[in-house]
Every structure is written in C-alpha cells, then in structure tokens.
Amino acid sequence: MLVYFKECSLKRSAWFFLALVAIGLEATGLYFQHGLGLQPCVMCVYERLAISGLIVAACIALLSPRVFLFRWLAIILWGFSAIKGLLIAIRHTDYQLNPSPWNQCEFKPDFPQTMPFDQWFPSIFAPGPVNCSESQWQMLGWGMPQWLILAFSVFTVFFTLVLLSQFKRTKTQYRSVFK
C-alpha cells in the first residue's frame, strides 16, 4: 500500500486532485459568504487560510513532483496545513458546542504584521461581525466546523500515508530488450 502512495506522490494527477478538492472547499466557503450572505467569523478565516495552504502545497508539487525538493516542501506544507486546520476546526467546534463568556474567539484575526491576509485579501480573509459560537448553517445536524473536522481529518490521514510512503523504496524495473 505504501508503494502505491509513493507512486501517486510522484504523479501530477494526485497533486492535481488535492488542489481540486481544496479549491472546491475554498469555493464552497466563498459561496457561503458571497452567495448566501453568511459572514465568516475569525475561526472561519483561519480555516480558510489552512485550506489555502493545501492549495499552495499542491501547486508546489504540481511544478515537478519527481523533484525531491518540490515534493518534500509540498508534503511538509500539506501536513502543517492539514494538522493546523484540524486543530482550528476542533477549537471552533468547541466554541459552538460549549458557548460561554470565557470560551470565545478573538474579534480580529491575529495575522503577523508581515502577512496581513485580512488586509491583502479582504474578500476572502476579513471576518464579519459574527461570534464564533454562532452556528449559521447546518447539514445533517453538523455545523461547518464539524464538517471541516471531517475534511481536515481525511487530509491528515492521507498526509500521514504519503509521508510514510516517502521512506519506502520502490523497485526499479529494468526491461530487457532481448527477452
């Protein structure tokens, strides 16, 4: 099984699929905001940034997945984004399931001064006047952060498999011309 994931990590099609899924999630969030009028909270903005990290990771690997540096840089960014997104989604779910005055998110995103994403891309990363404990949307009894826990968990599982597969040696097959 690890050989299969190693071979997949060397192909552009697998990285394209990762980019496509992450772009689909990002587009869904933007549709909820701009199409349905649901305002994102600060945690939603952080979750969007984690999804953007997955898109950037896939784009790095799409440059040349067989080059060691590109592939490993993409895998590391993928893992960081998936795990960080999972932790943020879990905290966001906690805010919604256990609302209290001392369990709330910030009013403004806490981006570094050198990377103020909310100022650079306000239509994507600027939060609305919404509290993180408010649930604006549900499907099958789950809110958005609960669905994102599922999505980031899947990203994390596949990241782990791909990471472990990188240490698996693949057999080089030599074809004999005179057989």
Cα–Cα distance between 165 and 10 in angstroms, integer?
Answer: 11
Q: Give one word for 141, left, alpha or beta, with left for phi > 0 and alpha for psi -120 to 50.
A: left
26-60 core/surface letters (b: 16 or more CB in 10 A; e: else): beebeebbeeeebebbbbbbbbbbbbbbbbbbbbb
Cα–Cα distance between 80 and 84 in angstroms, integer?
Answer: 6
Residues 6+ positions from 9 with CB-CB distance below 8 Å: 15, 61, 65, 71, 75, 162, 165, 166
Q: Tell me the three state secondary structure of residue 140.
A: coil
Residues 6+ positions from 151 with CB-CB distance below 8 Å: 25
Residue numbers annotated as active site: 41, 44, 48, 105, 132
